[in-house]
Amino acid sequence: MKKNLLIYVVAGLMISATSCKKIVELDPQNQVSPEKALADVDGYNAVLVSVYDRMQAYGYYGRDLALMGDALADNIFTVAAQAGNRYSGQNLNTRNSHYGIWGAAYGAINDLNTILAGIDGLTNVPANKKALQTQIKAEALALRGLAYFDIARVYGYEPNRIPTTGTNANFNKSAVIRLTPTTKVPEANIRNRATVVEVYTQIEKDLLAAIATFQSLALTSPPTNPFKVNESSTHAILGKVYLYWGGKDAAAVTEFDKALAPAIAFAKLSNATNIVGDWRKSPHPESLFELNYVQAAEVTGVTGSNDGLFTYTQPTGRNANGVATFGGQTVGNELLALLETGDARRGLIFNSSTATTATAYNWTNKYSAVGGAYTDNVRVIRYADVLLMKAEALANQTLYGDAALLVVQLRTNRGATTVGVPTTAAIVDYIQDERRRELFFEGHRWFDLKRLGRNISKPAQTGLSGLLYTDYRLLAPIPTGEISLNPALPQNPNY
């Protein structure tokens, strides 16, 4: 009798346990399963937001693509004692001091692949969400093209600029191409790098598809802000890709023209009177695509004061806000010398000592914490940039006069003299100088030298003679973890 009782109790316990395998299940609340996340258009929209968020990272567009190109090349002299180790190595072009966008860009690409793999297959999309569905797809295609373009130009050569001598001779590897999302471990298989031409072909394909999708929306007015990629900026990016590609100048000009067409473009050219003031506007009136930062949500705590563009480029204690910075990125003497005294763009440069040194340096005010403490927007592509790229594409086709007209148009709007703008082959170099005058501290200089196959010059203040175009440091190192996982990736030469 009593023994039976024992058996009942134990058996009861066993049953209650086995019938309750569910007893040890618990669902997360801060995260959801992929099925729930991607149930509707709004879910995909949230993934697209994640891509913009990733682009905002300091290691990607948030700082490095917006500034490091000037430090790696000849626009910036980094004052090491002031910079708190920020860009000190980059300014001296030391080994491994370079861009590191691999993780951020591929994170964005996987998000974009997730969108592109599923957005068309959504069923039961309400009528009022159809346009959003198309819009998301168009932006995703454009951003995937841009992300691959960034990887291609940071880690590989441009198709027609592969060195033929030196350690990197005939090295034609570029990005790893992945066009489908990773949802399971086996899908994260090891792949090798595609060739430069394959990657550029893929970029063109995405951007053309993006443009076609934007056009299918049949919008009747230009966008009200440049905070998301749109048809206008996609044309501009595609034109830029053609310019980097080489030998596609006519196609580039067509894209640049479309990009600036008033029917679809937000951007307008600033004039000499307000160029300085426009840098204090959000968005910048010249922006085709601008990453917007909301200080209260995105630049809180010490993130801004440690990593933002403001803290890199403003003298500590002697800036408009009177706050401490890690300012060490100063305007190189050669760059300053390029700007004549009457040029309105000189108004963006000031001379100052800092709270911790009596020595005065030249600084720029392009990043003046317009968006709140240590917060500035990043102008990914700007009207003047497009104008100068168009001039370059024209000059490449020996249309020197047409090219000069665009340069004159820009200089007129900058209060700079138009005397001496050449209408001969000399305009080719003149355009590059104009790009320095116009686009300094916006991250372009390194890529401009590299895509043209030129040697990297350095400010005399660095005491360096610069890099030959054939130097291995023209390419950034692929993260070493990727190489140890897959030596056949392969790593860029000499790293």
**Of the ranges 103-111, 195-203, 338-346, 464-472, which one interacts with another protein (CB under 8 A)?**
103-111
Compare residues 123 and 359 and give the one whose CB is closer to another protein.
Answer: 359
Cβ atoms within 10 A of the Cβ of 476, count?
21
Q: Does 106 bind another protein (CB under 8 A)?
A: yes
Binding mask 382-421 for another protein (x = CB under 8 A): ----------------------------------------
Q: Does 432 bind another protein (CB under 8 A)?
A: no
Q: Does 173 bind another protein (CB under 8 A)?
A: no
Q: Which of residues 293, 312, 400, 430 is near another protein by CB under 8 A?
A: 293
3-state secondary structure of 357: strand
Residues in binding contact with another protein, number by CB under 8 A = 98
Reported for 43-48, long-range contacts at CB under 8 A and 24+ positions apart, including other chains, are 44/115, 44/118, 44/119, 44/122, 44/133, 44/136, 45/132, 45/136, 47/111, 47/114, 47/115, 48/111, 48/115, 48/136, 48/139, 48/140, 48/143
Compare residues 227 and 412 and give the one whose CB is closer to another protein.
Answer: 227
Spatial distance between the Cα atoms of 319 and 59, rounded to a whole number of angstroms: 24
**Of the ranges 171-179, 198-206, 238-246, 268-276, which one interacts with another protein (CB under 8 A)?**
171-179
**Of the ranges 111-119, 195-203, 238-246, 262-270, which one interacts with another protein (CB under 8 A)?**
111-119
Q: Does 183 bind another protein (CB under 8 A)?
A: yes
Spatial distance between the Cα atoms of 477 and 457, rounded to a whole number of angstroms: 20
Angle between helix 41-55 and helix 130-155 axes, rounded to 10 deg: 30
Q: Does 317 bind another protein (CB under 8 A)?
A: yes
| Cis peptide preceding 283, ω within 30 of 0 | yes
Spatial distance between the Cα atoms of 442 and 449, rounded to a whole number of angstroms: 14
Q: Which of residues 21, 127, 128, 420 is near another protein by CB under 8 A?
A: 21
Residues 326 to 345 in contact with another protein, rule: CB under 8 A: none
**Of the ranges 268-276, 339-347, 348-356, 421-429, which one interacts with another protein (CB under 8 A)?**
348-356
Spatial distance between the Cα atoms of 98 and 103, rounded to a whole number of angstroms: 14
Q: Give me 475's structure tokens.
A: 């390419």
Cβ(120)–Cβ(138) below 8 Å: no
The residues, ordered by sequence, that sit 6+ positions from 153 with a Cβ below 8 Å of its Cβ are 244, 447, 450, 451
Taking the chain, what is the end-to-end CA distance rounded to the nearest angstrom? 80
Q: What is the 3-state secondary structure (H, E, C) of 286-319?
A: CEEEEECCCHHHHCCCCHHHHHCHHHHHCCCCCC
Q: Which of residues 179, 324, 370, 428 is near another protein by CB under 8 A?
A: 324
Residues 34 to 53 in contact with another protein, rule: CB under 8 A: 34, 36-38, 43, 45-53
Q: Does 350 bind another protein (CB under 8 A)?
A: no
Compare residues 360 and 405 and give the one whose CB is closer to another protein.
Answer: 360
Q: Does 10 bind another protein (CB under 8 A)?
A: yes
Q: Give me 331's structure tokens.
A: 């305007």
3-state secondary structure of 382: strand
What is the per-residue burial (b if ≥16 Cβ within 10 Å, else e) of 157-174?
Answer: bbbebbbeeeebeebbbb
Q: Does 54 bind another protein (CB under 8 A)?
A: yes
Compare residues 33 and 397 and give the one whose CB is closer to another protein.
Answer: 33
Q: Which of residues 127, 218, 297, 419 is near another protein by CB under 8 A?
A: 297
Compare residues 250 and 302 and give the one whose CB is closer to another protein.
Answer: 302
Q: Which of residues 29, 123, 220, 221 is near another protein by CB under 8 A?
A: 29
Residues 185 to 244 in contact with another protein, rule: CB under 8 A: 185, 187-191, 225, 227-228
Spatial distance between the Cα atoms of 472 and 14, rounded to a whole number of angstroms: 68
The residues, ordered by sequence, that sit 6+ positions from 481 with a Cβ below 8 Å of its Cβ are none
Q: Does 178 bind another protein (CB under 8 A)?
A: yes
Q: Does 365 bind another protein (CB under 8 A)?
A: no
Q: Does 352 bind another protein (CB under 8 A)?
A: no
Residues 63 to 92 in contact with another protein, rule: CB under 8 A: 80-81, 84
Spatial distance between the Cα atoms of 105 and 24, rounded to a whole number of angstroms: 38
Compare residues 201 and 295 and give the one whose CB is closer to another protein.
Answer: 295
Spatial distance between the Cα atoms of 439 and 62, rounded to a whole number of angstroms: 16
Least CB distance to another protein at residue 14 (A): 7
Compare residues 25 and 170 and give the one whose CB is closer to another protein.
Answer: 25
Q: Which of residues 83, 136, 176, 386 is near another protein by CB under 8 A?
A: 176
Enter the DSSP assignment of 455.
P
Least CB distance to another protein at residue 223 (A): 10
